Each structure stands twice: as structure tokens, then as C-alpha cells.
Amino acid sequence: MTGQVFFASSDRFTNHFDFHEAIKHVVIDVTHAHFWDITSVSVLDRVVIKFHRETGLIYTPFLVLMI
């Protein structure tokens, strides 16, 4: 994923995922994305929770903060 994520694009971000597809693992690489506000961070959290709830996948956090 690349680009800007903010409150106005949060729904579009969520709609790019298929939570019912039979998968073994998911990698959401946000290395080249910029999350501008708490709404965008919250939507990423909701995507991770929904993947866990729908597929049973376990989330392993890996976060690198660049300041």
C-alpha cells in the first residue's frame, strides 16, 4: 500500500480487502503509506481485527516508526 490515508479515504481503504477469501496469511505493508489522523489508524486496526474474526488469522505486529 502506498499513499495517504486520512478520515476521508478510510472507507475506501477498508473496501480493498476481501475478508471472506480463504487465505493462510495476510501482509499489509504500510511502509510507503502515511496515516494522517486517528481515524486512519483506527481503520487499520479494524481491518486487522476483522481479518482475525473472519479468518482466525493471528496478528503479529511489526511496526517501524520513522520520525
CA distance 1 to 20: 20
Phi (first) and psi of residue 43, to 5 degrees: -65, -35
pLDDT tens-digit series, residues 39-51: 888 888 888 888 8
- What per-residue confidence (pLDDT) applies to 67? 44
Do 41 and 35 contact (CB within 8 A), yes or no? yes
Q: Which CATH architecture has domain 2-55?
A: 2-Layer Sandwich (3.30)
Q: What's the grid cell of residue 6? A: 486520512
Phi (first) and psi of residue 63, to 5 degrees: -135, 130
Of 7 and 35, more confident: 35
Query: Which range is least confidently modeled, 5-9, 20-24, 47-51, 57-61?
Result: 57-61
Give the residue from 25, 31, 30, 12 showing the smallest Cα distance to 51: 25
pLDDT tens-digit series, residues 14-48: 888 888 888 777 788 888 888 888 888 888 888 88
What are the residue ranges spanned by the domains of the chain? 2-55
